[in-house]
């Protein structure tokens, strides 16, 4: 059964692969390249010090490319790929809601970092407020956002970080304790997600907005955090999270969304068989309660050792974390009616399950008794990191091992397992093709009446990455030949290795392309029988170069042109928590920043290409403009 939200078939790739892509890349780049000094206002009240660092920003994003018909479902005027693969009608709302040159964001935001200190104690609060005119108006070209989806994007006043802290010297040992809503950044990743810091939740929609910085998107989580210096060279850290927070994905129908069943504003699942000749409609499947997450069983420990004699000094880190996945895994729950019972019921309406119409009617009746849900399974991670300086270049890296990491499963395979479990495979194959087969799915578990599908397959997983940050002076090769005063080059490369991934129908970082079983493909995937499941190994890299031109054109403005490049070199990463690489995907972002005292303006254009049919964003090039003032 091809299940979908609203009037759209469900695709599982957004649930099974967090698509941060360009905006995540750009936000971290902005943080690394243009952080600069804070412009806090400071006040003193006796022994109390108060600082307030406020940033006011305006920004807009515009779509700059036409949509591709292959990214639109046939029901909405799209076209299939060369081998018959089609975009599900549940996967194109974000594409259809915006034409070329439409604004996809028009946002004003104010954020303040407020810190109060007294002796060795302090309070830190980060309130923020924003208004996004595009989604506040909610007059989109194809389908307006639902109430919940609109509410995530239109406007809000919120307190992000809010914690108290203390710092002590205990017999010469430095100790720190923080309690409250706070973000925590462990490990050495620069751009690539899914590593040591994967326990940290993100607000993807905040990351998408023009002018966003990384701190805007790291969701503060209620936790207790502490650190203690055992020696001058050895420090230990730990956290315990006492309230669960998940990553907020793009609401259904927003510009970067690719799925209407994941994220706020998702619709009830509606199922339609994709093949035009079968003509089934009217299956309405509600979403049931989320499963798997825990409020309390989330914690981590870390140790850092600074080796003074290794190079110019090297920090080594060891980590262990245990947490509920921040990303959802899709699952389906069967209802209380098997195919035999369904055939008996529809026979009273004049249908015969030996015929195509009768078999499809029974199939639809049985499917209507089910539901879908999101699962948030438990994850463990063991990691190690290093950071040092080699000939003026900051070099860092990390590696992780996750025993029995949960990996999401192709939703076509999940739906096929439902068909098998309810005994519908033989009925449907016989009625539709004249050939009888008893199994559509390759999964080891087939859910029966009132049972749920699998949501994940657990496999050991390895990840690694290395990063460099190199600063250039005016006399170095790149600035000298570009006539610049200085520059910076940032590079990050990584890999994902899951030894047994290719043995299972696991979702990969891009769009789903079909199912291998011919009969299942006929019913579920428009006959496409050549899916690209996740591979054992995948890798890629990201790079950014920027140069500075102070006093540009005889003014007091510093111009900083920059170029960012992404290339996923080989393999298809399994998701959702390691969905980093999609073979052949490339992305380029060209931008320029202008700074004058406390003012900053940024203009950029981003294009994503390569990766073939699996790349969701080849037709969603965009430009952003942002203005900000810090005081």
pLDDT digits (tens, 9 = 90+) for 317-355: 999 999 999 999 999 999 999 999 999 999 988 889 999
Cis peptide before 576 (omega within 30 of 0): yes
Q: Is residue 237 in a domain?
A: yes
pLDDT of residue 597: 94
- Domain boundaries, position 576: 13-335+370-630
The rounded distance, in Å, linking the Cα atoms of 228 and 225 is: 11
Q: Is residue 347 in a domain?
A: no
Tally of domains within the chain: 1
Q: Is residue 349 in a domain?
A: no
pLDDT of residue 41: 86
Provide DSSP, 258-301.
Answer: --SSSSTTPPPEEE--SSTTT----EEE-B---BS--SS-EEEE
pLDDT band of 278, cuts 50, 70, 90? very low
Mean pLDDT over each residue of the chain, to the nearest integer:
89
Q: Is residue 99 in a domain?
A: yes
Q: Is residue 527 in a domain?
A: yes
pLDDT per position as a tens digit, 414-473 = 999 999 999 999 999 999 899 999 899 999 899 999 999 999 999 999 999 999 999 999
pLDDT of residue 282: 59
Q: In the numeric block, which tokens belong to residue 141?
A: 């070209």
Q: Is residue 248 in a domain?
A: yes
* Higher local confidence (pLDDT), 296 or 452: 452
The rounded distance, in Å, linking the Cα atoms of 402 and 385 is: 15
pLDDT band of 262, cuts 50, 70, 90? confident
- State the DSSP H helix or E strand holding residue 494, giving kind and residue range, or none if neither: strand 486-497
The rounded distance, in Å, linking the Cα atoms of 314 and 397 is: 11
Q: Is residue 3 in a domain?
A: no
- Kindly state the average pLDDT of the residues 468-494: 95
Q: Is residue 450 in a domain?
A: yes
Give backbone dihedrals phi and psi of 148, rounded to 5 degrees, phi first.
-70, -40
Report the percent of the chain where pLDDT is more than 70: 91
| Nearest residue to 305 (alpha-carbon basis) of 226, 240, 229, 397 | 229
- Kindly state the average pLDDT of the residues 204-230: 91
Q: Residue 106 pairs with which residues in a beta bridge?
A: 60
pLDDT band of 586, cuts 50, 70, 90? very high
Q: Residue 517 pairs with which residues in a beta bridge?
A: none
pLDDT band of 517, cuts 50, 70, 90? very high
pLDDT of residue 8: 30
Q: Where are the beta strands (DSSP E) in 34-154?
A: 41-45, 48-63, 103-118, 121-132
CA distances from 303 to 199, 396, 477 (A): 17, 16, 39
pLDDT of residue 269: 65
Going by C-beta distance under 8 Å and a sequence separation of 6 or more, which residues neighbour residue 171? none
Q: Is 624 left (phi over 0), alpha (psi -120 to 50) or beta?
A: beta
| Nearest residue to 410 (alpha-carbon basis) of 447, 371, 378, 442 | 442
CA distances from 348 to 280, 344, 364 (A): 19, 7, 15
The rounded distance, in Å, linking the Cα atoms of 257 and 450 is: 31
Collapse the DSSP code of 427 into the 3-class scheme (helix H, G, I; strand E, B; otherwise coil) and give the result: helix
- Kindly state the average pLDDT of the residues 215-240: 95
Rounded to the nearest 10 degrees, the angle between the axes of helix 356-367 and helix 425-433 is 150
* Higher local confidence (pLDDT), 534 or 296: 534
pLDDT for 21 beyond 50: no
The rounded distance, in Å, linking the Cα atoms of 464 and 538 is: 11
- Kindly state the average pLDDT of the residues 116-136: 96
pLDDT band of 143, cuts 50, 70, 90? confident
Structure-derived torsion over alpha carbons of residues 52, 53, 56, 61, reported in degrees to the nearest 10: -140
Q: Is 464 left (phi over 0), alpha (psi -120 to 50) or beta?
A: beta
pLDDT per position as a tens digit, 358-400 = 998 898 888 889 999 999 999 999 999 999 999 999 999 999 9
């Amino acid at each position: 059964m091809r299940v979908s939200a609203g009037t759209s078939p469900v695709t599982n790739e957004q649930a099974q692969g967090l698509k941060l892509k360009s905006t995540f890349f750009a936000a971290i780049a902005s943080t690394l390249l243009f952080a600069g000094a804070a412009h806090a206002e400071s006040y003193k009240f006796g022994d109390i010090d108060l600082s307030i660092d406020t940033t006011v920003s305006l920004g807009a994003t515009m779509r700059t490319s036409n949509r591709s018909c292959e990214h639109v479902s046939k029901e909405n005027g799209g076209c299939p790929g060369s081998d018959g693969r089609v975009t599900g009608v549940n996967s194109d709302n974000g594409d259809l809601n915006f034409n070329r040159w439409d604004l996809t964001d028009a946002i004003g935001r104010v954020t303040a970092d407020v810190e109060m200190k007294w002796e060795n104690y302090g309070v830190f609060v980060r309130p923020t407020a924003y208004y996004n005119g595009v989604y506040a108006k909610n007059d989109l070209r194809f389908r307006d956002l639902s109430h919940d989806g609109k509410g995530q994007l239109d406007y809000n006043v919120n307190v992000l970080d809010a914690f108290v802290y203390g710092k002590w010297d205990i017999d010469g040992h430095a100790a720190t304790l923080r309690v409250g809503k706070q973000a925590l950044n462990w490990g050495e990743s620069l751009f690539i997600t899914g590593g040591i810091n994967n326990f940290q939740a993100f607000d993807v929609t905040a990351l998408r907005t023009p002018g966003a910085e990384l701190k805007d998107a790291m969701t503060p989580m209620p936790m207790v955090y502490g650190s203690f210096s055992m020696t001058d060279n050895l420090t230990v850290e730990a956290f315990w999270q006492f309230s669960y927070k998940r990553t907020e994905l793009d609401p259904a129908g927003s510009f970067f969304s690719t799925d209407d069943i994941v994220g706020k504003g998702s619709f009830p699942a509606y199922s339609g068989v994709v093949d035009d000749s079968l003509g089934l409609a009217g299956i309405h499947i509600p979403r049931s309660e989320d499963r798997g997450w825990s409020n309390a069983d989330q914690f981590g420990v870390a140790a850092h050792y600074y080796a003074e004699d290794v190079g110019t000094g090297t920090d080594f880190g060891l980590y262990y974390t245990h947490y509920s996945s921040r990303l959802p895994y899709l699952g389906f729950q069967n209802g209380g009616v098997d195919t035999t019972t369904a055939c008996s019921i529809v026979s009273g309406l004049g249908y015969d399950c030996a015929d195509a119409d009768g078999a499809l009617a029974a199939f639809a009746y049985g499917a209507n008794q089910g539901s879908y849900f999101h699962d948030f399974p438990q994850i463990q991670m063991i990691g190690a990191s290093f950071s040092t300086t080699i000939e003026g270049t900051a070099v860092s890296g990390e590696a992780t091992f996750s025993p029995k990491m949960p990996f999401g499963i192709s939703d076509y395979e999940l739906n096929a397992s439902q068909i098998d479990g309810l005994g519908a495979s033989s009925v449907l194959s016989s009625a539709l093709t004249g050939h009888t087969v008893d199994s559509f799915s390759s999964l080891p578990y087939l859910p029966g009446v009132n049972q749920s599908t699998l949501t994940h397959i657990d496999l050991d997983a390895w990840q690694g990455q290395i990063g460099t940050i190199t600063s250039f002076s005016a006399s170095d090769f790149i600035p000298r030949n570009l006539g610049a005063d200085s520059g910076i080059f940032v590079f990050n490369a990584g890999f994902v290795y899951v030894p047994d991934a290719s043995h299972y129908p696991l979702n990969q970082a891009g769009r789903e392309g079909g199912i291998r079983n011919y009969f299942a493909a006929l019913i579920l995937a428009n006959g496409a029988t050549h899916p690209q499941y996740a591979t054992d190994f995948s890798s890629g890299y990201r790079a950014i170069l920027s140069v500075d031109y102070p006093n540009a054109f005889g003014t007091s403005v510093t111009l900083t042109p920059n170029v960012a490049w992404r290339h996923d070199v080989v393999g298809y990463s399994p998701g959702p928590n390691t969905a980093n690489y999609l073979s052949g995907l490339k992305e380029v972002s060209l931008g320029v920043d202008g700074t004058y005292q406390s003012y900053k303006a940024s203009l950029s254009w981003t294009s994503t290409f390569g990766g073939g049919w699996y790349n969701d964003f080849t037709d969603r090039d965009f430009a952003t403009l942002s203005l900000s003032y810090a005081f």
